[in-house]
Amino acid sequence: MTLTFFSIMIMVGARLDADLKQRTLSLAAERDMHAQLRQFLAMLGHEVRTPLAVINRSAEMSLELLDPAQPQVARRLGTIRSTVDRLRSLMDNLLMAERVALEVTDGEPVDIARIVRDLMRLLAHKYEDGRIAATLPQTPAMVRGNREMLAAAIGNLLDNALKFSPSDQPVRVEVRCDGAVAVTVSDNGIGFPPDQLPLIGQRFYRGGNVGAVQGTGLGLSIVKTIVDKHRGQLGLVNGATGGAVATITLPLAKSIGATAWLAE
C-alpha cells in the first residue's frame, strides 16, 4: 500500500512538473509574441504616418499656391486633406486600441487634475477656446497608473463631448476626490440612445443617433479598456435634461513620504 501511494505521488509530481514547465514555456512564448506585436505596431504607425503627412502637406501647399478662381480644385484638395485626417484618426485609434489591449499599466503616480488642465490647453487648438468648463480640486487628484493611457481615456471623453454637442454649449468636466478619484464629463449634445446603452463601448459600435458625424466606434472601447486595466469603472448615462454623462472612477493613491505613492 505504501509503495503504491509513493508511486502515485511520484507520478503526480512528475505530471505537475511537466505542466509547470509547459506553462512557463507558453508564458515566455506569449510575452515574446506580445513584444513582437508591439514592435510591429510601432513600426506600422511610423510607416503609415509618414506618407499621410506628405500627402497632407502637399495638398496644403497646393491650396496656398492655387489661383482663387479655381474653386473646384480647392474643394478636391480640401477633400484630400479631410480624407487624410480620417485615415490618420482611424489608424491612431486602431493602434491605440491594440496597444492598450497589450500593455500592462505602469505604477507611477499620476495627477488626474493636471491631465485635465493639459487636455484643455490641447483641445483649445482643435475646438473654440473656453468651451470646456472645469471644476477641479485645489489639491492633486492622485492615482497610480500609466499617464499616457489615462490622458487618452479622459481625452476621448472630452473629444466626444465636444464633437457631439452644439458649438455654443459648454462641456463640463469635474474631478472629485472622495475615497476615489472620479472624472465626470457632461454635455448638452445628442446623448446615448437609451435602448443601445448596453452596447455603447463595444469595439466599432456607434450609436444610431450619430448621424453624419465621423468616427471609428473605437473611442469608448479604448476608454473602457484603459479604465479596466487601472482597476476602475466607467459609467455612461444620459443627463436628466439631455446630453451624455460619462464618469471614470479610479482608486485613490495616498502619499507615503515625499515622492512615493501606494494605491489603497
pLDDT in tens, 49-67: 677 777 777 777 787 777 7
Report CA dihedral (31, 35, 37, 42) to the nearest 10 degrees.
Answer: 160
Span 4-29, average pLDDT: 62
Q: In this model, does residue 177 exceed pLDDT 70? A: yes
* Structural fold of domain 108-263: Heat Shock Protein 90 (3.30.565)
Listed residue (254, 116, 239) closest to 175, CA to CA: 116
Give the bridge partners for 38, in sequence order.
none
Query: What percent helix, strand, coil does the chain show, rounded to 5?
Result: 55, 20, 30
Give the bridge partners for 235, in sequence order.
247
Name 62's Cβ contacts closer than 8 Å, sequence gap at least 6: 77
C-alpha cell at 25: 514555456
- What are the structural domain ranges in the chain? 8-102, 108-263
C-alpha cell at 79: 477633400
Task: Give the separation between CA 83 and CA 89, rounded to whole angstroms.
Answer: 10
Given a contact cutoff of 8 angstroms between Cβ atoms, the answer to whether 89 and 216 are in contact is yes
User: Percent of the chain at pLDDT above 70?
Assistant: 64
What local confidence, expressed as pLDDT, does residue 85 receive? Answer: 73
Please report, for residues 8, 11, 58, 213, the alpha-carbon distance to residue 2 in angstroms, rounded to integers and kept in the order given. 10, 14, 84, 75
What phi-psi label fits residue 202: left (phi over 0), alpha (psi between -120 and 50 degrees) or beta?
beta
What local confidence, expressed as pLDDT, does residue 257 receive? Answer: 36
Residues 56-75: b if buried by 16+ CB within 10 A, e if exposed: beebeeeeeeeeeeeeeeee
- Other C-beta atoms lying within 10 Å of the C-beta of residue 180: 15
Span 203-208, average pLDDT: 67
Q: In this model, does residue 262 exceed pLDDT 50? A: no
Listed residue (229, 246, 216) closest to 93, CA to CA: 216
Task: Give the separation between CA 131 and CA 55, rounded to whole angstroms.
Answer: 31
Highest-confidence range of 30-39, 42-51, 119-128, 212-221, by mean pLDDT? 119-128
C-alpha cell at 21: 514547465
Q: What is the pLDDT of residues 120-159, one digit of tens each?
A: 998 888 887 778 999 999 889 999 988 888 998 999 899 8
Q: What is the pLDDT of residues 218-238, one digit of tens each?
A: 778 888 888 988 899 999 898
Chain CA centroid to CA 163, Å: 16
Listed residue (148, 137, 67, 160) closest to 106, CA to CA: 148
What phi-psi label fits residue 108: left (phi over 0), alpha (psi between -120 and 50 degrees) or beta?
beta
C-alpha cell at 168: 455654443
